[in-house]
Each structure stands twice: as C-alpha cells, then as structure tokens.
C-alpha cells in the first residue's frame, strides 16, 4: 500500500473513533423524539443540548454534530453532522475544526476538498489540537491542499501529536519507522513502541500492524 494512503487511512479511522462528547449524556433510545430543524430526529436527552446549539454554544454544536455522526441520540446523518461541526468550528472550537478537516479530506457529509481540509486542520493545529496537528502533518508530507511539501515540518507535527498521546499519530509514526519512510531510518523496535501505544488506546489498525511486524521480524 502507498505509504501516504496508509497514513491517511490510519488518520481517518483514528479521528472517527476518538471523537468524544464534551458534555452530553449519550443515549441510544429514540422512542421519545422531537422533530428538530431540517426534520432531524433528536433523542429527548438532547433537547437542551440542541437548544443551546441553536443559540451558538460551540460545545453544544459539537455534541449535536457528534450525535449525528455516531447515531447515538440522533439519526445518523453525516450532512447534518458536518453542518453542526462547521458551526462549532466557525466559533473556534479546535476539536470540531479537526473533525471538519477530516470530513473534507474524505468527503464525509461534504464535497471532498483538500483546501478546506487544510484550512481546518491548520486552524485546529494552531490551537495545539493533536488530531489537527496530525492531519496537517500528512498534508505537509504530501504537499497538497495548498500546503507546500515540507517533510521536516510534516514529521515534526506528527511526532508532536504522537507525544501528545494521539493514537492516530502514534500509529502513523510506527508506520514511518517500520517503512523507513521520508528518509527516516528503519527502526522496527521504535515502530513496535509506537504501534503498542496506539494499540493500547484501541486504534483500529495498530494492533494488526504490530502483530504483523512481530511475525515478520526477529526483534523480540
């Protein structure tokens, strides 16, 4: 697999699985619903959150976006999710900015647009959001979305994100060391270290990469 494709897949999976609510009580019961704007069904537990979101509360906006992304407490609808994440991102909330960047990267709920992805990853990275830093790092490695190709800056951002304990960046760093990508030395012990950290956080690919590396390596 192309190294950048592998990095992007790992980043997207980690982004989707590590998104977390900042205040709402999660619910999977949709027996008590109301019709929200755009006729979206919202669970009763989110009535107050929706009201707050509509008045401009950026955390509430993020949580409504998350509910529509996960299908927990709301009908799963990526377009509606993207709408609320955008509102939160426009209000400066870094976690929403990072997820919106990931949406634009892969065309989730929005038209795929690398420049918009770069815009939102940059905004999140400027606030030291680890997911945003990781996403922006991959753009520097690829030189896309209007971001100039700069391997050194890309690796710096991914490494900083990994040290901030972001599982997606840890898995990417493991891949870079395993492959010896971007003129980095092949270091399987280092790769195992980063894969292990990501696997400990239940990253969707890290454990598989770690197992495969162990099977094909003489490193104990």
Reported as a single tens digit per residue, the pLDDT across 43-97 is 778 888 999 999 999 999 999 999 999 999 999 999 999 999 999 999 999 999 9
Q: What angle do CA 79, 82, 86 make, to 5 degrees?
A: 145
157-163: long-range contacts, CB 8 A cutoff, minimum separation 24: 157/125, 157/133, 158/133, 158/134, 160/130, 160/133, 161/130, 161/131, 161/133, 161/134, 161/137, 162/134, 162/194, 162/197
Q: Which pLDDT value is given to residue 164? A: 96
CB 173 within 8 A of CB 181: no
Q: Domains of the chain (ranges plus CATH)?
A: 3-215 (1.25.40.10)
How many C-beta atoms surround the C-beta of residue 59 within 10 A? 19
- Residues in the chain, total: 220
pLDDT exceeds 70 at position 2: no
Computed on alpha carbons and rounded to an integer, the radius of gyration of the chain in Å comes to 18
153-173 pLDDT, tens digit per residue, is: 999 999 999 999 999 999 999
Q: Is the pLDDT of residue 150 over 90?
A: yes
pLDDT digits (tens, 9 = 90+) for 189-220: 999 999 999 999 999 899 999 999 999 876 44
Gap between the Cα atoms of 162 and 175, Å rounded: 12
Main-chain dihedrals φ then ψ at residue 41, nearest 5 degrees: -80, 130
DSSP symbol at 144: -
CB 62 within 8 A of CB 22: yes
Cα atoms in the Cβ-side hemisphere of radius 13 Å centred on 98: 29
Task: Give the Cα separation of 78 and 68 in Å (integer).
Answer: 6
Tell me whether residue 4 is exposed, middle or buried, using C-beta atoms within 10 angstroms of its C-beta: 0 to 12, 13 to 18, 19 or more: middle
**b (16+ CB within 10 A) / e for 27-47:** eeeeeebeebeeebebbebbe
**pLDDT-based confidence at residue 7 (cuts at 50, 70, 90):** low
Banded model confidence at residue 33, pLDDT cuts 50, 70, 90? very low
The tens digit of pLDDT for each residue in 84-142 reads 999 999 999 999 999 999 999 999 999 999 999 999 999 999 999 999 999 999 999 99
């Amino acid at each position: 697999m192309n190294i950048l494709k592998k990095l992007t897949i790992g980043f997207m999976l980690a982004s989707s699985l590590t998104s977390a609510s900042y205040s709402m009580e999660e619910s999977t019961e949709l027996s008590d619903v109301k019709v929200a704007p755009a006729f979206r069904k919202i669970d009763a537990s989110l009535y107050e959150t929706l009201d707050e979101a509509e008045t401009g509360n950026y955390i509430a906006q993020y949580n409504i976006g998350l509910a529509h992304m996960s299908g927990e407490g709301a009908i799963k609808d990526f377009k509606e999710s993207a709408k609320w994440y955008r509102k939160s991102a426009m209000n400066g909330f870094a976690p929403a900015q990072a997820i919106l960047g990931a949406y634009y990267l892969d065309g989730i709920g929005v038209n795929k647009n690398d420049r918009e992805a770069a815009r939102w990853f940059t905004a999140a990275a400027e606030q030291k959001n680890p997911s945003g830093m990781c996403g922006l790092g991959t753009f520097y490695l690829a030189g896309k979305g209007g971001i100039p190709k700069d391997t050194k800056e890309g690796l710096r951002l991914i490494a900083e994100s990994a040290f901030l304990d972001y599982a997606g960046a840890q898995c990417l760093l493991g891949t870079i060391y395993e492959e010896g990508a971007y003129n980095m030395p092949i270091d399987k012990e280092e790769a195992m270290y980063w894969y292990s950290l990501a696997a400990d956080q239940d990253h969707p690919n890290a454990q598989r990469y770690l197992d495969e590396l162990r099977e094909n390596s003489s490193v104990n």
